[in-house]
Chains A and B, each alone.
Chain A
Amino acid sequence: MKELLTGSEILIRSLIDNGTQCLFGYPGGQIMPVYDKLYDYSDRLRHYLARHEQGAIHAAEGYARATGRTGVVTATSGPGAMNLLTGLADALMDSTPVVAVTGQVGSSMLGKDAFQESDVISSVLPVTKWAVQVRRAEDIAPAVARAFYIANSGRPGPVVIDLARDAQVGTAEYEKLEAPFIRSYDSDPHPAEGALEETARLLNEAERPLILAGHGISISGAQDVLAAIVGKGEIPVACTMLGLSCIPSGHPQYVGMLGMHGNLGPNINTNRADVIVAVGMRFDDRVTGDLTKYAPDARIVHIDIDASEFDKMVKADVHVHCDARKALEAILPMLDEADRREWRESFDRHREVEEERVMARELAVAAPGGKMLMGGVVRKVCEAFDDNAVIVTDVGQNQMFAVKYSRFNLPDSLISSGGLGTMGYGLPAAIGAKIGVPHRDVVLFVGDGGLQMTIEELGMIMEYGIDVKIVLLNNNFLGNVRQWQHLFFNGRFSSTPMTNPDFKMLAAAYGIAGADVADASALDAAIAEMRKCPGAYLLNVNIDETDMVFPMTPGGNGVDEILLDESQYYKPR
């Protein structure tokens, strides 16, 4: 049935008809007609007012990552739209489905430097999967249907709808639209003939196969098939950072995290494997190190839904161009059961060295003088939540320690800015995640630098009563940069020490409970207190600033040239 509605109402109805339950945003002059209509729909479409548009879009990203549904964000023209850019770039890098609606000046004013006009489409094209300007009310519903389809199909990503004022105030007939067919965009490609069979054959013939599991596993919901495959073939599986939690940390075939600060076993054995099957990952430079020294002995299979990833970084012998779940489902019945215990156990030997030479040091909670170490704090907090929480991180050492020492029982449990490494992502993303999965505990690990980049979003926590546990790993330093300055710039700490506010008081000003943990001896009780607290909580933990993340593969090194501490390279037997 068709109804005559204003463009603003069509927008809201189309958002709802495309599955939107809530959105994050910030009003302003050129999106006021939409906000006016939101007022009427507040019972069906909840709007969360962020304190900055960057906060709004990171919240939408967190929501999307926690739920798999498309995150929606609204902003006004000009400054509002420009404040979204960081989040759009972040969402593009990390394949996060987001639809952003920006207000725009009336079409007769476009291109004339009107008040708060900016060229949104040109600005966002490099950081979006798709972007469109809509100038007429009748074009809104088709644009929204297309935007949602594009954002959350194929390799997900951010989409922008730039809504000129005339479209918002004009009228048109509305009826619910289905996802359109787009001939130039194949969201569900079929792999080339024989590619799946070839993959199964390579795996069956392999003596030392290794599966690299990326974000694509959770995006395609392939966790169970992955577990079935690695179990059947006794194939070790390692995760990229964004792949974490796609297989339980305690799974017998799980051998750890890849990358610059990943575990020894998977990094060393990347260069010993005879077959590597990479699923839904893109061979990021943080994962591969020096490409000329990467996986010299391996035949490589690359499974990805995005054809532009093939051979971009690492030349693969087989390309499987399709959805990760579909590929793994097809491979599973062709896979032979196998006994690869010896190969699997070779990872344990590296693990033992790492436990002894790195983890023992990093997991000791107390540093000299009563300050604490991030690794130990992370482990204790995660255990307090039975390893079942959704872990959200900011960027820096806090992120690396959070991903190294969290353990995951449940899927979709890690939310972190991987590709862009956006400081300030954590707090708003945690808020969005909690809104998306209110039944789960959400724990944020954040540094004192990153927290202050979007700290205004404590306002969202206050206003909407969002239960996020914030663990501030506070070293009064931009710790990650400090580590690099210590290792590679002769300890010249240029602009990395920080004079910080009283974070507990700051939280209190927002009505958020909190505690300062000055001494390691008080940590356990403080964590228990936080766990018990029914609402949001800020735990300000006094971290030793000399704390450093290891193992580490410095830039330019091969994936197996790994520092165990600041002076010793790992020499595997």
Chain B
Amino acid sequence: MEPQLYTIAVYTENRVSLLHQISMVFSRRCLNIDSMTVSACSIEGVHKFTITCFSTRTMLEHVVRQIEKRIDVIKAFLFTDEEIVYQEVALYKVPTASVVYTEIEDIVRGSGARVLEIHPNYTVFEKTGHTDEIMELFERLKPLGIKQFVRSGRIAVTRSSREMVDEYLLSREARSLMQN
């Protein structure tokens, strides 16, 4: 099976050491995490890790199960790009002087970037999109002399009409009521 970029979504309790517990499953197999974004999600008390990794499906299916095995992990899923809507954000800091002398309108319009700040010395652009779109703008801004560039990890939501984590938590709640 050919390796490709996969997205892994991990839902966890909000406890310390989860980052370590998740990352060690990758490092154990010598897998390089391509990007990772962590934040609280829409379910109260639940955190979501969005991780991208370049590997085979078999390998990452094992990884996902081993992540899910950790006690404080609620659910983990493996997705291909087709199964999700995803986005990244990037910031570009370029010398203001070079901006003034370029056809900057063309670049901004063409890329859908935004100007966040203009300072006599520097200007900061922001762009959201997929990696290739962000890198395309990077190439176009390059002649201006990029002073700083940063790209976030991927964030993603599923295309499915079922909310698997909600369903899981509801079923767990029902189990807990049955037990008591």
Q: Which residues of A are interface residues toward B (Cβ below 8 A)?
A: 121-122, 125-126, 129-131, 133, 150, 181-186, 306-308, 310-312
Asked if A125 and B24 make an inter-chain contact with CB atoms under 8 angstroms apart, the answer reads yes
Q: Which residues of B are interface residues toward A (Cβ below 8 A)?
A: 12-13, 16-17, 20-21, 24, 28, 61-62, 65-66, 68-69, 71-74, 169, 172-173, 175-176, 179-180
Q: Which residues of A contact B24 (CB under 8 A)?
A: 125-126
Interface of B is mostly: helix
Asked if A122 and B17 make an inter-chain contact with CB atoms under 8 angstroms apart, the answer reads yes
Asked if B20 and A183 make an inter-chain contact with CB atoms under 8 angstroms apart, the answer reads no
A312 to B61, CA, bound (A): 9
Residue of A nearest to B28 (CB): A126
Q: Which residues of B contact A185 (CB under 8 A)?
A: 71-72
Asked if B71 and A125 make an inter-chain contact with CB atoms under 8 angstroms apart, the answer reads no
Residue of A nearest to B25 (CB): A126
> Quick one: given A150-B71, A184-B12, are A310 and B173 in contact (CB under 8 Å)?
no
Q: Which residues of B contact A184 (CB under 8 A)?
A: 12-13, 71-74
A354 to B82, CA, bound (A): 56
Asked if A121 and B68 make an inter-chain contact with CB atoms under 8 angstroms apart, the answer reads no
Asked if B74 and A182 make an inter-chain contact with CB atoms under 8 angstroms apart, the answer reads no
Q: How far is the CB of A520 from chain B (nearest CB, A)?
A: 48
User: Can you list 11 A-B contacts with CB-CB less than 8 angstroms, sorted by A residue number?
Assistant: A122-B17, A122-B20, A125-B17, A126-B24, A130-B71, A182-B71, A184-B13, A185-B72, A307-B65, A307-B69, A308-B65
Q: Which residues of A contact B71 (CB under 8 A)?
A: 129-130, 150, 182, 184-185
Asked if B17 and A183 make an inter-chain contact with CB atoms under 8 angstroms apart, the answer reads no
Most chain B CB within a 10 A radius of its CB, from A121, A181, A183: A183
Q: Which residues of A contact B66 (CB under 8 A)?
A: 308
Residue of A nearest to B180 (CB): A181
Q: How far is the CB of B74 from chain A (nearest CB, A)?
A: 4
Asked if B65 and A181 make an inter-chain contact with CB atoms under 8 angstroms apart, the answer reads no
Asked if B65 and A183 make an inter-chain contact with CB atoms under 8 angstroms apart, the answer reads no
Residue of B nearest to A306 (CB): B69
| The 4 residue pairs across chains A and B that have the minimum distance between CB atoms | A308-B65, A184-B74, A183-B172, A181-B176
Q: How far is the CB of B22 from chain A (nearest CB, A)?
A: 10
Residue of B nearest to A315 (CB): B58
A150 to B72, CA, bound (A): 11
A130 to B21, CA, bound (A): 10
Q: Which residues of A contact B68 (CB under 8 A)?
A: 307-308
Q: How far is the CB of A521 from chain B (nearest CB, A)?
A: 53
Q: How far is the CB of B17 from chain A (nearest CB, A)?
A: 6
> Quick one: given A126-B24, A126-B28, A306-B69, are A131 and B17 in contact (CB under 8 Å)?
yes
Asked if A310 and B17 make an inter-chain contact with CB atoms under 8 angstroms apart, the answer reads no
Q: Which residues of A contact B176 (CB under 8 A)?
A: 181, 183
Asked if B62 and A183 make an inter-chain contact with CB atoms under 8 angstroms apart, the answer reads no
Asked if B62 and A308 make an inter-chain contact with CB atoms under 8 angstroms apart, the answer reads yes
11 further A-B contacts with Cβ under 8 Å, apart from A126-B24, A181-B180, are A122-B20, A129-B71, A131-B17, A182-B71, A183-B172, A184-B74, A186-B172, A307-B68, A308-B66, A311-B61, A312-B62
A532 to B138, CA, bound (A): 84
Q: Which residues of B contact A125 (CB under 8 A)?
A: 17, 20-21, 24
Q: How far is the CB of B172 from chain A (nearest CB, A)?
A: 4
Asked if A183 and B61 make an inter-chain contact with CB atoms under 8 angstroms apart, the answer reads no
Residue of B nearest to A179 (CB): B179
Asked if B69 and A183 make an inter-chain contact with CB atoms under 8 angstroms apart, the answer reads no
> Quick one: given A307-B68, A310-B65, are A183 and B21 in contact (CB under 8 Å)?
no
Q: How far is the CB of B67 from chain A (nearest CB, A)?
A: 9
Residue of B nearest to A150 (CB): B71
A182 to B65, CA, bound (A): 18
Asked if B17 and A121 make an inter-chain contact with CB atoms under 8 angstroms apart, the answer reads yes
Q: How far is the CB of A144 from chain B (nearest CB, A)?
A: 15
Residue of A nearest to B176 (CB): A181
A306 to B65, CA, bound (A): 9
Most chain B CB within a 10 A radius of its CB, from A121, A125, A306: A125
A306 to B69, CA, bound (A): 8
Q: Which residues of B contact A306 (CB under 8 A)?
A: 69
Residue of B nearest to A149 (CB): B71
Residue of A nearest to B65 (CB): A308
A126 to B179, CA, bound (A): 31
Q: Which residues of B contact A308 (CB under 8 A)?
A: 62, 65-66, 68-69
Q: How far is the CB of A316 from chain B (nearest CB, A)?
A: 13
A282 to B69, CA, bound (A): 15
Q: How far is the CB of A431 from chain B (nearest CB, A)?
A: 30
Residue of B nearest to A312 (CB): B62
A133 to B17, CA, bound (A): 10
Asked if A183 and B28 make an inter-chain contact with CB atoms under 8 angstroms apart, the answer reads no
Q: Which residues of A contact B61 (CB under 8 A)?
A: 311
> Quick one: given A121-B17, A150-B71, are A181 and B179 in contact (CB under 8 Å)?
yes
Q: Which residues of B contact A129 (CB under 8 A)?
A: 71
The answer, among B16, B74, B180, for a CB contact under 8 Å with A183, is B74
A398 to B72, CA, bound (A): 40
A122 to B19, CA, bound (A): 11
Q: Which residues of B contact A150 (CB under 8 A)?
A: 71
A235 to B16, CA, bound (A): 48
Q: Which residues of A contact B21 (CB under 8 A)?
A: 125
A81 to B12, CA, bound (A): 27
Q: Which residues of A contact B69 (CB under 8 A)?
A: 306-308
A181 to B179, CA, bound (A): 9
A547 to B66, CA, bound (A): 41
Q: How far is the CB of A101 from chain B (nearest CB, A)?
A: 18
Q: Which residues of B contact A182 (CB under 8 A)?
A: 71
A312 to B72, CA, bound (A): 22
Q: How far is the CB of A552 from chain B (nearest CB, A)?
A: 29
A130 to B71, CA, bound (A): 7
Q: Which residues of B contact A131 (CB under 8 A)?
A: 17
Q: How far is the CB of A310 from chain B (nearest CB, A)?
A: 7
Q: How far is the CB of B30 from chain A (nearest CB, A)?
A: 14
